[in-house]
């Protein structure tokens, strides 16, 4: 928000909904989504263009896709970003306007080394 205020403009925004209520994922919980969407639209106006979700791994994604598409429709949001390489066809059938198919194009990601520093947690630097 501060960067947008400095630039005097906002990019198109997609709000993440944590349709599976997974504690390790970000995003508004389904029961809080309507209030969150309303709050964001009040703050950011027409820049809020849609919703996005990533269903829990190993579950049927359709209930999550349907929930997200229904929420977007109820709020008059035109963009529904859901579905990845393994389930994009189901996402499109449920109403996705955007899908993420990186591993279908670039291959699987290498397994992460849990001891490796990350950009947010680089233990080699003090402070």
Q: Is the pLDDT of residue 64 over 60?
A: yes
Given a cut of 90, whether residue 62 has pLDDT beyond it is yes
Q: Compute CA 97 distance to the chain's CA centroid, rounded to the nearest angstrom.
A: 13
Fold assignment, 1-106: TIM Barrel (3.20.20)
What pTM value is reported for the model?
A: 0.79
Using 50, 70 and 90 to split pLDDT, how confident is the model at 119?
Answer: low
H helix intervals, 1-127 = 2-7, 30-44, 62-74, 88-94, 102-106
Residue boundaries of the structural domains of the chain: 1-106
């Amino acid at each position: 928000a501060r960067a947008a205020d400095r630039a005097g403009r906002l990019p198109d925004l997609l709000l993440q909904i944590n349709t599976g209520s997974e504690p390790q994922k970000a995003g508004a919980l389904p029961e809080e989504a309507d209030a969150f969407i309303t709050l964001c639209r009040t703050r950011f106006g027409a820049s809020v263009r849609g919703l996005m979700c990533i269903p829990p791994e190993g579950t049927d994604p359709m209930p999550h896709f349907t929930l997200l598409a229904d929420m977007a429709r109820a709020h008059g949001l035109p963009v529904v970003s859901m579905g990845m390489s393994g389930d994009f066809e189901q996402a499109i059938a449920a109403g996705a306007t955007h899908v993420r198919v990186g591993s279908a194009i670039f291959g699987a990601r290498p397994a992460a080394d849990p001891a490796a520093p990350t950009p947010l947690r680089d233990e080699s630097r003090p402070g």
